[in-house]
Amino acid sequence: QAQITTFIVVRHAEKMADGSKNPELSPEGKKRADALAKILNKLEINKIYSTNYARTQQTVQPIAQAKGLTINEYEAKPQAEFFQKLLQENEGKTVLIVGHSNTVNEILNILTQTQKYKPLEDSEYQHIFIVAKAKNGDAQVLNWNYGF
């Protein structure tokens, strides 16, 4: 029986419009991060990965804290080799990855070995993509929207 590895891929929550290159979450974004933590709290999550930006780190901080997990950092530009290694190291486990509007699609394309996912619109924060990846490379994706 093939081991299924589950990747939960989300975009960071709403950010402050302060003109900086590394804005923190807005009050609405903090509410979304808390909602994400409540949604994911009943799932077994083995690892959490975030880019080193404040908005991505803050998006997964509530769930990391609830699960007692460390937030591991990865490069903002997704690399296929990194995700292959992640798959090997976490076979049969569940990994939460937070990215950006222009990287969530790249992560999904790498994990599914397709080119069908496009960048998210600036206003799209509500998606939770659940990727069930088999060892043989087959992948199924569920796109679930969440609000708060």
The DSSP symbol for 15 reads B
State the Cα–Cα distance between residues 42 and 66, nearest whole angstrom.
10
Question: What confidence tier does 41 reach under pLDDT thresholds 50, 70, 90?
Answer: very high
What DSSP string runs through 23-83?
A: --B-HHHHHHHHHHHHHHTTS---EEEE-SSHHHHHHHHHHHHHHT--EEE--SS--HHHH
Sheet containing 94-99: give its strands across: 71-73, 47-50, 94-99, 4-11, 127-134, 139-145
pTM over 0.75: yes
Average pLDDT, rounded, for the chain: 95
Share of the chain above pLDDT 90, in %: 93
Tens of pLDDT, residue by residue over 105-122, are 999 999 999 999 999 999
Q: Which residues pair with 8 in a beta bridge?
A: 96, 130
Q: Do the bridges between strand 127-134 and strand 139-145 make them parallel or antiparallel, or are there none, so unpaired?
A: antiparallel
Q: To 10 degrees, what angle do helices 27-40 and 54-67 make?
A: 40
State the Cα–Cα distance between residues 15 and 125, nearest whole angstrom.
10
Q: How many helices (H) and strands (E) does the chain have?
A: 4, 6
Does the pLDDT at position 7 exceed 70? yes
The pLDDT of residue 28: 97
